[in-house]
């Protein structure tokens, strides 16, 4: 089984790294118009090419990680190399629908959409998956592939834009939140490196509490807010300044933007 990644940019390279981290024996071929930067990474099991036809011919699963505006032209220019029996096609591009891809390739292709995030590079992505047709029962293989890069959920395609905002853009929202916490940590006495370490492990721990205990965040918050204590006054001050509201408004604004495209 060879996995092809068309468009080895930010997300494509994250996927490549995550697949490699999980299993060094998987054969991967990744494309980009300029591959000079990857010369030192070329190996018998990890090929980089500037030729999409070569990638398609060598791959079984083809992950399209191009910018959305390049996806349809890529399919159009290369459709003669695709084989519906051999190839499973997964697009991770936002906004390109299964119908649009099916219109280029034909209805006999099993086409998937997946929305991972850059934490795939450390096998901690959440990937939302939708599919069109599953003539050859490949859904399980695609779910397994993305399970190896973190967690997966299968969703209706109508929710793909929402998944893009909450899961893929979500990484940026959480990182900005972390940056603010680190800045606060510096203000109360830590150097940047120590503050980063404390904040990173605290965010990881908070996420793990919810994942392991299956609790609502507020239930875990109740456990650390002593009446009249320092946590609750800080939290309430954040809320007076619009903390939750700012996050919700940001998510809705991102969603409105993606919907308009």
Ligand X SMILES: NC(=O)c1ccc[n+]([C@@H]2O[C@H](COP(=O)([O-])OP(=O)(O)OC[C@H]3O[C@@H](n4cnc5c(N)ncnc54)[C@H](OP(=O)(O)O)[C@@H]3O)[C@@H](O)[C@H]2O)c1
Q: How far apart are CA 96 and CA 261, in angstroms?
A: 10
Q: Decide: is 67 part of the binding site for ligand X (CB under 6 A).
A: yes
Could you tell me the smallest distance in angstroms from the CB atom of residue 11 to ligand X? 4
Residues 185/195, Cβ–Cβ less than 8 Å: yes
Quote the DSSP letter at residue 47: E
Taking the least distance from each CB to ligand X, the nearer of 112 and 185 is: 112
From residue 6 to residue 45, the character string flagging contacts with ligand X as x (rule: CB under 6 A) and all else as - is: xxxxxxx------------------xxxx-----------
Stretch near ligand X under the rule CB under 6 A, chosen from 66-74, 97-105, 123-131, 245-253: 66-74
The first and second tokens of residue 56, run together, are: 């398609």
What contacts 182, CB < 8 A, 6 or more positions away? 192, 195, 196, 199
Taking the least distance from each CB to ligand X, the nearer of 119 and 195 is: 119
8 to each of 14, 54, 62, 137, how far by Cα in Å? 9, 15, 12, 27
3-state secondary structure 109-160: CCEEEEECCHHHHHCCEEEEEEEECCCCCCHHHHHHHHHCCEEEEECCHHHH
Q: Decide: is 163 part of the binding site for ligand X (CB under 6 A).
A: no
Q: Decide: is 119 part of the binding site for ligand X (CB under 6 A).
A: no
Q: Decide: is 75 part of the binding site for ligand X (CB under 6 A).
A: no
Residues 152/146, Cβ–Cβ less than 8 Å: yes
Q: Decide: is 113 part of the binding site for ligand X (CB under 6 A).
A: no
Q: Decide: is 53 part of the binding site for ligand X (CB under 6 A).
A: no
Residue nearest to ligand X (CB): 9
Q: Decide: is 128 part of the binding site for ligand X (CB under 6 A).
A: no
Position among 59, 117, 125, 254 found at the interface with ligand X (CB under 6 A):
117
Q: What b/e sequence results for 55-77 when a residue is b if at least 16 CB atoms lie within 10 Å of its CB, and e otherwise?
A: bbbbbebbbbbbeeeebbebbee
Could you tell me the smallest distance in angstroms from the CB atom of residue 114 to ligand X? 9
Taking the least distance from each CB to ligand X, the nearer of 159 and 209 is: 159
Position among 2, 17, 46, 70 found at the interface with ligand X (CB under 6 A):
70
- Binding interface with ligand X (CB under 6 A): 6-12, 31-34, 52, 65-68, 70, 74, 92-94, 115-118, 168
């Amino acid at each position: 089984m060879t996995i092809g990644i068309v468009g080895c940019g930010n997300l494509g390279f994250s996927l490549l790294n995550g697949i490699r981290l999980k299993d060094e024996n998987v054969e991967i071929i990744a494309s980009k118009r300029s591959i000079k930067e990857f010369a030192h990474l070329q190996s018998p099991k990890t090929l980089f090419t500037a030729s999409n036809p070569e990638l398609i011919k060598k791959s079984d699963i083809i992950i399209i990680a191009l910018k959305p505006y390049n996806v349809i032209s890529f399919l159009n220019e290369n459709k003669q190399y695709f084989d519906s029996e051999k190839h499973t096609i997964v697009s991770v591009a936002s906004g390109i629908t299964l119908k649009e891809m099916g219109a280029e390739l034909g209805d006999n292709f099993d086409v998937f959409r997946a929305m991972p995030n850059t934490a795939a590079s450390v096998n901690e992505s959440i990937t939302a998956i939708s599919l069109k047709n599953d003539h050859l029962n490949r859904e399980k293989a695609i779910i397994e592939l993305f399970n190896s890069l973190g967690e997966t959920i299968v969703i209706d395609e109508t929710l793909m834009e929402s998944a893009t905002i909450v899961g893929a853009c979500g990484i940026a929202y959480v990182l900005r939140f972390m940056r603010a916490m680190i800045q606060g940590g510096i203000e109360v006495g830590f150097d940047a490196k120590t503050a980063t370490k404390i904040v990173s492990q605290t965010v990881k721990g908070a996420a793990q509490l919810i994942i392991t205990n299956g609790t609502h965040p507020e239930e875990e918050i109740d456990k650390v807010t002593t009446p009249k204590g320092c946590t609750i006054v800080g939290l309430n001050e954040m809320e007076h300044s619009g903390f939750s509201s700012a996050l919700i408004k940001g998510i809705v604004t991102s969603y409105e933007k993606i919907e308009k495209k």
